Amino acid sequence: MNETEITTRLHLPAVTTFQAVQSSEIITGAVLWRSDVEPKLEQNAEGVYILTLHNQGAYGSFEVPYIAHHILHADDDLVAILVAFHGTQGVYGRKTDRKASKGQFWRFFQKNDDGIWNRVNWKQLNDETRTLILVDYQASDLSWAKAPGKLSTDYRTPRRAKTKTIAYKLVQVRDGRYFSVFQPEEEYILGKLKTQQAKSRHRGGYYSYSSQERLLELFHESRLFPYRCYRQPMELALLECEVGGRIIEYHNGKWASTYLRPLAVLSTFLCVPTV
């Protein structure tokens, strides 16, 4: 993509104080860090802001490092870019321990009231701006891409809930009883209240999810439990729970609550390890 194509895609006029250009430099190296693949924003001597993008290689090919800068949103005051990359060392898959460095992350560039462009983070954007980005993200064909973040209202979970809240939890079924998958001796009894002070950084509390869909999505992607928990067949039960007290929300939608009471079994199913 050349400079003209990028400018057109950004819906910017031909004469502008902001330009996006494609770097001609080929980045090499078996292992990549975020700093290696960042979009670079600089101001030149004429006062024009230059955003330098990288696009090279092909995903899954290890001849050169793969770097893709996907422009998901662009207008006169805001540019949102999804960066995807992987290095050239090793291959993907379970048959080898060698893994290519890989990842994806978002970068946001915004013009302030004084006409100055800066890189900003998601929390510095207001919900109106966040909505613009989320709409374009949802309309994109990048099904593999992680969402850039949430709206402010989605972060508002009760830190000290005065009323009880419904949440969901997956547990292992053994002899008709319900146990933690992660801590096999931790039992959950329907109707019985469990109490452990919720603390940040996974230092305490009972874990659950406010959304069944999110809980099952993480399970089917083998991201709900440590990998070792998926290596043996087991029967699982989806529990509806009542949670309260202090509730801490983690980035993946998981809650840690001081109080948790299992209420009912919504469904059971078998988990069979894949080869």
pLDDT at 100: 57
Per-residue model confidence (pLDDT) at position 153: 65
> What is the enclosing helix (H) or strand (E) of 172?
strand 160-174
Task: Identify the residue whose tokens are 């988990």.
Answer: 271
The confidence score (pLDDT) of residue 98 equals 46
CA-wise closest residue to 100 among 90, 114, 108:
90
Burial class (CB in 10 A: 0-12, 13-18, 19+), 202: exposed
Tokens in use for 233?
């067949």
Q: What is the DSSP letter of 138?
A: H
CA distance 246 to 225: 23
Phi, psi (deg, nearest 5) at residue 267? -165, 160
**Domains of the chain and any CATH numbers:** 3-154 (no CATH), 157-271 (3.20.170)
Contact 38, 54 (CB under 8 A): no
3-class SS of residue 196: coil
- Provide the residue-wise pLDDT of the chain in tens; the chain has 275 residues: 344 444 444 544 444 688 889 998 898 877 888 888 999 999 998 889 999 999 999 988 888 899 999 999 998 899 999 999 988 875 444 444 445 578 899 999 999 988 899 999 998 999 889 999 999 998 888 888 888 988 876 665 545 444 579 999 999 999 999 999 989 999 999 999 999 988 888 889 999 999 999 999 988 888 888 878 888 889 999 999 999 888 988 878 899 999 999 999 999 999 887 65
What was the pLDDT predicted at 16? 60
Q: What is the predicted pLDDT for the residue at 88?
A: 83
Residue linked to tokens 């013009």: 111
Burial of 70 (0-12, 13-18, 19+ CB in 10 A): middle
